[in-house]
Structure 1
Amino acid sequence: MRRTRTAHTGRTTRTARTTRGRLVVAAATVLVVAMGLPSTPAAAHDSHEPLLAALRAEAGTAVGGDGIPGVIARTYKDGVSWTGTGATDAGTPVRNPDSPFRAASITKIFTATTVLQLVAEGMVSLDDDVFGLLGPVLKTNPVAGCNPSTGQCFNPPPGSPPITVRNLLQHSSGVFNYLGDLGVLASAGSSFPNLPDYSAQQLVDEGASHGPQFAPGTGMHYSNTNYVLLGMVIERVTGHPWADEVTRRVIQPLGLTHTVLPGSTATLPTPHDQFFTNYLRPRGVFGHLSRPAADWNPSIGGAAGAIVSTSGDLVTFIRALLAGRLLPPAQLAQMMTDLNPTGAGAPGSPLPGIPCDPARAWPECIVNPAISTVSSGDKATPGYWYASRPWKAVQADYGLGLTRRTITCRDGSTVVLYGHNGGGFGSLSYLYSTADGSHALVLNMNGDWPLWELYSLNGMLAAEFCTT
C-alpha cells in the first residue's frame, strides 16, 4: 500500500511500513540570490524545495543557466521516496521520472561490483597482472602500445611494476582514455547517431595507441579503457560475456527489471523522454545547436558506459550495494576505501578552512567562491552556481569503481557521498548516496551541455544532502 502526494514538480511516496510522521509543506517560490541563500528550514528540506530550486535553476535560462530541456531527480531517505522535475519553460515536455535513460559511466559501478565478486570467490586477485590474465592486449600491433612523447611502451623491462586489476579499477593504470582520442571523436562526430559497432579490442587499441601516460600506481588518469579491460577480465576468468555476468550477478538478483546492457542495440527502450546532444556541435551565441540523441549504438561505452536504467532501479542498486547485499564486507570496504593515492592537482590553492588537498584532488577540488569568500571577485561566475546551492567546497576521490565526494556545506558541516557520474550523448546522470545507503539521490539531465557541470552537480547534491 502506498500513499502518494504531488506538489508542483515534486512527488513523495511513503511506504505503509514507515511509521514516522513528517511535515510536508507546499513548494514555495525560491528567489535566486547571487551571493547564496539564507539557511533553509527543515520543513523546506522535507518538501525538497532546495533540490527543486536547484533543478529549476539548472533547466532555467533567466538566471544564466544552460537551458537543459529537462532534469529529473529521485531521492530515498528514511523509507520515503520522492521524485521531482525541472523544465526550461512551460513549452518543454514534462519529463517522466520513471522513464529509461542512458546512465553511461554509472556502468562502472556495476562492472566493478562484478569484478569484486570474482575477487571474493578467489577467481581473480586485485594484484593480478593484467598482461598475465589477458596476454599482450595493450600491444596488439606495431603502432599500439607506445607513447610518442616519452618513448615508453607497454612492454616494460623485467621487474617493472605491472598493471594490476586494482590499477584498472581506480584509474591508476596509466592507460589512455580512448574517448580522448581525436580519431574516435572524429568518427563519432561524422557518423552520429549511426556510430560504428565497436568491439572491446578496438576500443582498447585506441587507448593503447597513446602508450603509457605514467607508470602503474603513480598517477590518476580517468580512462574508459580501464573498464573495457575489466570487461575482458570478467570474460576471461568466467568464460562468459561480461554483460551476462553483470546481469546474472547484479541486475537479476536485485530485480532491476528496467536495467539493461544493450550491447550494440541503438534503440532506447520505450516509452522514453526526449534527449538532445551538443557534444558534436559548437556552442551557439544564443544557445546550443542541439539535435536528438535518444538512439545511438552504445558499444562505444561497453563495460565502461553502456548501461540503460531508470531512476528507481539505480536507487535500488546503490542502496543494495552500500548495504552489503552484493559484496562481502571485506570487498565492500575495499571498494569504498582503496582510493587512488595520487591526483591531478587542484585548480589553485585551497582557501583557508577548506579541506581540499591538492595532492589528492581527482582532478577536482572545487571551491564555491560566493560562499567561501566575503565577496566573489569572479565577475564571470554564473549566478546560477549559487541558487539554492549551500556548499563551500567539494573534493572527489576515486576508489574501486566508486567516487567519494566530500561536501563542505555552508554551515561548515561535511557530508561524504559515494557514487558515480555518467555522461553520454544527450544525457548526464548522477548517482550518489550516504555510506550506509540510507539516503540516496539520482539525477538525470536530458541535455549534455552544461558549461559548469561540476558546479551544477555540487549544487544539486548540496541542495539535497546539506541541512542548511
Structure 2
Amino acid sequence: MSDVTTPPRALRRGLRSAAALLAAATLLGAGAAPSFAAPPGRLPVDAQPAGEQGMLATGGAEATALRTTLQGIVDTGSSAAVGEVRQDGRTVWRGRAGVADLATGTPVPEHARFRIGSVTKTFVATVLLQLSAERRIGLDDPIDRHLPGAVANGSAITVRQLLDHTSGLYNYTDAPGLDPQNESQYLDWLAGPRWQTYQPADLLALANRNAPYFPPGQGWHYSNTNYLLAGLLVEKVTGHPWQQEVDRRIIQPLGLRDTGMPGRSVRLPGPHAHGYVKLSTGPVDVTELNPSVMGAAGQGISGTADLNRFIAALLDGRLLRPAELAEMTRTTDAGPGRGYGLGLARFDTPCGVFWGHSGDLPGYSTMVAGTADGRRQLVLSHNPYDRSDPRAAKSAVTAFLTTAACGANPGH
C-alpha cells in the first residue's frame, strides 16, 4: 500500500496498485530525500554480498549508494525495507533496513518473505501466454468462448484486453466495502472483510454491478477484475486451479522456494517483516489477511531472490518463446511516458528500459524489474507505515530504484 497516513484511501490503493505501478514507471533520478523521524527501534542498514563471494561486484560506491537510499525509504516512513540487485546471473548486492516488528524492534530477517500484490499478475500472464503457445487458448479469443456469461460484454472482450487492461471492466476493488472512505469504515474492514473468504463469483458480481469505464479496446484502465478473469481462464483451459498451474509451470521449474499462492490462508509463513497501517489510535498490524479477495490479481508471496530469478528467467526466454515474449512486451499507452504490456510494464530509466511490475497490499509494497537482455534485475519490498510527507517517501523509493537500476551515477 502506497500511502497509509490517509486510511480512507489506503485499502483502495493497496488492492489496486495502479498508482504505485505508474508512479514507478519512469524511475527518473531523484535528489536526496529529506530525513524524517524513523519508526521506533529503527536499525541501520545491513547489506551483504551474495553467497561467499566476499566482495560486491558492483563496487564500493554503488554499494554505499544502495545502502543510503534503502535507509532513506525507512527514514521517510517505512518500518522495513529489503532490496536485492543481480547482474549477469549472480546477486551482487542485498540489503535490509528497519525492523521486522515495531513493538519488539526485531531486525528484518535476511531472507524475508513478503506479500507481492499485483506482481502476481506477471506470473498469471506468463501462464496464459504459455497456454497460448500450446494453442489451448488464443490471445484474441473473446472471453465468452471460455467463460460464457462471466461478464455482460464478454463477447466483445478478448483475452489480450484482460491482460493489458484495455477491457474497460470496472475494478471490483473500488467497490463499496472494499474501498473504505473514512477511518470508521476502515476499522470495519479490519474487523470483517479482512478475514472473509471471497469466491471469484462474489468479486465478479461487484464488478458487474458497475458500468464499464469504456468500450473494450477504447482506453486503458488498471482493473483487478481483468486478472480475476485471467485466473478463471487458466482454470477453465487446464482443469486445474490457477495456483497449481503457476506452481507447476513457474515456481517448481525455477526452484522458487520462498514463492507461493496462498489461496485463503491468512498467514505469511516463514521469516518476514510485519506490515502495518497507521490509524489515529496508532499502528495496526495487518500482516495477516485473507488473500482470497485478490485472487489471481494479487495474492502471491515471495522473496527478493525468487523474484529476481523469476524476472530473469522470463526476460531471457526460459519461460516463454520469443513470439510470446514479444506479445508480452508490446505495450499499450497507459499515460505520458508509460507503457503496459501483457502483465508486464515498461520502465524508462536513465540507463535504459527495464521491464517488470509493482504490487501493493496493506502494509507491503513491492517492485521487480529487469533488463530485456536478462543481464540486470532488481527487487525492492518495503513496509509503508508513517508517511507524513508522501512526496519525500516517493522520492526515497525512486532514488533506490534508480540506483539499483543504474548504479551510483545514473546520469553517466
What TM-score do the two structures reach when normalised by structure 1? Answer: 0.70
Q: Would you say 1:339 and 2:349 are equivalent positions?
A: no
Give the aligned partner of residue 52 of structure 1: 67
Structure 1 residues 69, 22: closer, same or farther in 2, change over 3 A? closer
Normalized per residue, the structure richer in helix is 2
CA contact (8 A) 2:164 2:342 kept: yes
Give the aligned partner of residue 390 of structure 1: none
Matches within 5 A, 1:100-119: 100-119=113-132
Q: Would you say 1:81 and 2:72 are equivalent positions?
A: no
CA contact (8 A) 1:72 1:96 kept: no
Q: CA deviation at 1:449?
A: 5.7
Matches within 5 A, 1:160-175: 162-175=156-169
Give the aligned partner of residue 318 of structure 2: 325
Q: Would you say 1:190 and 2:127 are equivalent positions?
A: no
- Mapped to 2, the partners of 1:427 and 1:21 lie a distance apart of 28
- Mapped to 1, the partners of 2:250 and 2:91 lie a distance apart of 24
Q: Which one of 342, 346, 359 corresponds to residue 400 of structure 1?
A: 342
CA contact (8 A) 2:45 2:71 kept: no
CA contact (8 A) 2:83 2:96 kept: yes
- Mapped to 2, the partners of 1:314 and 1:255 lie a distance apart of 11
User: How far does the alpha carbon of each residue in 1:199-248 deviate from its partner, in whole angstroms, 9 at most, with x for none?
Assistant: 11111221222121101111111011100000011111111111111111
Q: CA deviation at 1:249?
A: 0.8
Structure 1 residues 14, 210: closer, same or farther in 2, change over 3 A? same
User: How far does the alpha carbon of each residue in 1:99-138 deviate from its partner, in whole angstroms, 9 at most, with x for none?
Assistant: 2111111100000000000000000111010122201112
Q: Which one of 375, 378, 387 corresponds to residue 438 of structure 1?
A: 375
Matches within 5 A, 1:25-424: 25=60, 44-45=61-62, 48-60=63-75, 65=76, 67-78=77-88, 79-87=90-98, 92-139=105-152, 154=153, 162-186=156-180, 189-192=187-190, 194-278=194-278, 281=279, 289-336=282-329, 338-340=330-332, 342-343=333-334, 360-361=335-336, 395-407=337-349, 409=350, 414-424=351-361
CA contact (8 A) 2:79 2:98 kept: yes
Give the aligned partner of residue 382 of structure 1: none
- SS of the residue corresponding to residue 290 of structure 1 reads strand
Q: CA deviation at 1:333?
A: 1.4
Q: CA deviation at 1:87?
A: 2.1
Percent identity between the two aligned chains:
34
Structure 1 residues 237, 51: closer, same or farther in 2, change over 3 A? same
- Mapped to 2, the partners of 1:418 and 1:245 lie a distance apart of 23
- SS of the residue corresponding to residue 359 of structure 2 reads strand
Q: CA deviation at 1:175?
A: 0.5
- Mapped to 2, the partners of 1:23 and 1:199 lie a distance apart of 47
Structure 1 residues 113, 430: closer, same or farther in 2, change over 3 A? same
Q: CA deviation at 1:94?
A: 2.1
- SS of the residue corresponding to residue 74 of structure 1 reads strand
Structure 1 residues 182, 448: closer, same or farther in 2, change over 3 A? farther
- SS of the residue corresponding to residue 83 of structure 1 reads strand
CA contact (8 A) 2:115 2:361 kept: yes
- SS of the residue corresponding to residue 124 of structure 1 reads coil
Structure 1 residues 255, 215: closer, same or farther in 2, change over 3 A? same
Unaligned runs of 5+ in 2: 1-43
Structure 1 residues 267, 466: closer, same or farther in 2, change over 3 A? same
CA contact (8 A) 2:177 2:189 kept: no
Q: CA deviation at 1:22?
A: 4.6
Higher relative contact order (CA 8 A, sep 6+): 2
- Mapped to 1, the partners of 2:321 and 2:400 lie a distance apart of 32
Q: Which one of 457, 464, 467 corresponds to residue 397 of structure 2?
A: 457
- Mapped to 1, the partners of 2:239 and 2:372 lie a distance apart of 33
State the AA in 1 paired with 2:331: L
- Mapped to 2, the partners of 1:420 and 1:301 lie a distance apart of 16
Structure 1 residues 427, 448: closer, same or farther in 2, change over 3 A? farther
- Mapped to 1, the partners of 2:52 and 2:374 lie a distance apart of 17
State the AA in 1 paired with 2:169: V
CA contact (8 A) 2:171 2:224 kept: yes
Give the aligned partner of residue 10 of structure 1: 47
Structure 1 residues 257, 188: closer, same or farther in 2, change over 3 A? farther
- SS of the residue corresponding to residue 262 of structure 2 reads coil
Structure 1 residues 442, 197: closer, same or farther in 2, change over 3 A? same
What TM-score do the two structures reach when normalised by structure 2? Answer: 0.79
User: How far does the alpha carbon of each residue in 1:352-389 deviate from its partner, in whole angstroms, 9 at most, with x for none?
Assistant: xxxxxxxx43xxxxxxxxxxxxxxxxxxxxxxxxxxxx
- Mapped to 2, the partners of 1:210 and 1:466 lie a distance apart of 43
CA RMSD of aligned residues (A): 2.6
Q: Which has the larger radius of gyration?
A: 1
- Mapped to 2, the partners of 1:323 and 1:217 lie a distance apart of 29
Aligned residues: 353
